[in-house]
Amino acid sequence: MKATVMQLHRDLQLGRTSSVALTEQALTVIAGHRAAGGAAFTHVDAQAALAAARQIDAVGLYPTPLAGLPLSVKDLFDVQGQITTAGSVVRKQNPPVQQDATVVAKLRAAGAVLLGRTNMSEFACSSLGLNPHYGTPRNPGDPERVAGGSSSGAAVSVALDMSVAALGSDTGGSARIPAAFCGLVGFKPTAKRVPMQGCLPLSPSLDSIGTLGHSVSCCAILDAVLSSGWTPSHARGQPPDVKKRRLYVTEDYLADHLDPAVAQAFDEALARLSQAGARIIRFDFPELGWIADMDAQGGLAAAEAWHEHGERLESEDGAYYDPRVVRHLRQGAGQSAVRYLELLERRRTLQAVAAHRLSMADAWLMPTVAILPPRLAELDDDEDYGRLNRLAQRNSAVANLLDGCALSLPLTAQIGLSVCGLHGRDTHTLKIAAGIERVLEC
């Protein structure tokens, strides 16, 4: 495993390294990546990052684990003095924003060094990470494959040591899918746990922030900073033992059409957890089959995204959107108010069913993504692209629909295990995920 936030924090405290050294190293890797045609970043502010690092080193105090560490920010969040393009040329001429997004301000307050803005699927409208405007970030393990999306650049920035951790977003798996495809940990909190002010919305009912790092502790630290605020108490304690923990698994819907490699990795993980004393409890959740009907016209995401983008799409700006994004957004135009209200009611019913079925669970486990990262060549055809895009986000989107929390752990370099919790169970889910991580690393 590469260096985690806490490991680097200790190195800073002990004088083994400095913020300037870490930042210079990250900027060197970024420069090499961009010179070679890499598309992880859309904007890098080297001067501001180095100035922040020098200021932190001059004080010589690193009060939070993020202090002095170089992080990347998805190009969906406002950063003072910069343009938030959301991966689109449509917003390229917008004026620089006047203030940081709330989460960006919290990162700065914690002492993080912000390197720049990471690339993404245009307006966060794809789980595969393609971007025809700024280039598509390639999978770190196989450049012929996608990195996943929509937080594609965020994942690549961490996987290739261009940042220690990354701030992304997650509407249907946008942080967890690229985490799974790139061998990282990705976390989606309960939606309202972390404020979204200053983040361009896609689907306000489903949107949440997302974080990516090399370990559960990295995401737990970011969660603490971005939600309640970091205190030393967050660093205390060891990951819990998984013995006798109740880990629920459903074999309908979420287990359909799994790539054989994904199915094997998932089964092997369950076997190891069982050997470690966890209780693997299999249950039925047939109501998840409703989701296919709910998504037939794009679902809640398309309806709400059309509200955000419809007027602009009908203007001359519409010609500059990626045609695949346009097709997705236009699904929302055909949804009536009655259909939208029906979707909200069906969502509430699913949430109630989940709360009942999972009331005794310590976590709900599933493959983060049903498939391996597709090869770019597989996505040339629009029909194949649509099919693989839907399948890539099928499992991860369930946590957003249920307004729960979920974390993806790497099982292999391109396969993730999703550890899910009910609404508001974020702290517990992070702790259980840390215990699972310890078993799977052995």
* Domain co-membership, 151 together with 298: no
Identify the domain boundary among 158, 179, 200: 179
In a domain, 106, yes or no: yes
Identify the domain boundary among 304, 333, 362: 333
Label residues 149-160 b or e (16+ Cβ within 10 Å = b): bbbbbbbbbbbb
- For residue 178, CA distances in Å to 63, 140, 170 come to 30, 11, 11
Q: Residue 330 — pLDDT band, cuts 50, 70, 90?
A: very high
Indicate the length of the chain as a whole number: 442
Query: What are 189-199's pLDDT values in tens digits?
Result: 999 999 999 99
pTM of the complete model beyond 0.95: yes
Number of domains in the chain: 2
Query: What are 214-226's pLDDT values in tens digits?
Result: 999 999 999 999 9
Q: Name the residue among 353, 347, 307 with its Cα closest to residue 330.
A: 307
Pairwise CA distance, residues 440 & 173, whole Å: 22
- Within 10 angstroms of residue 341's Cβ, the number of other Cβ atoms is 10
Catalytic residues: 74, 150, 174
The number of helix segments (H) and strand segments (E) in the chain equals 15, 13
* Domain co-membership, 158 together with 28: yes
Identify the domain boundary among 301, 333, 365: 333
In a domain, 226, yes or no: no
Contact 107, 66 (CB under 8 A): yes
Q: Look at residue 237 in the predicted model and tell me its pLDDT.
A: 72
In a domain, 149, yes or no: yes
Query: What are 102-117's pLDDT values in tens digits?
Result: 999 999 999 999 999 9
Positive or negative torsion for Cα 96, 73, 163, 228 = positive
* Domain co-membership, 22 together with 169: yes
In a domain, 316, yes or no: yes
- Within 10 angstroms of residue 13's Cβ, the number of other Cβ atoms is 14
pLDDT at 1 over 60: no
Residue 46 maps to which CATH number?
A: 3.90.1300.10
Q: Look at residue 24 in the predicted model and tell me its pLDDT.
A: 99
In sequence order, what E strands does 113-189 have?
113-118, 138-139, 142-146, 165-170, 185-188
In a domain, 225, yes or no: no
Cis peptide before 150 (omega within 30 of 0): yes
Which residue range forms the structural domain that includes residue 307? 293-333
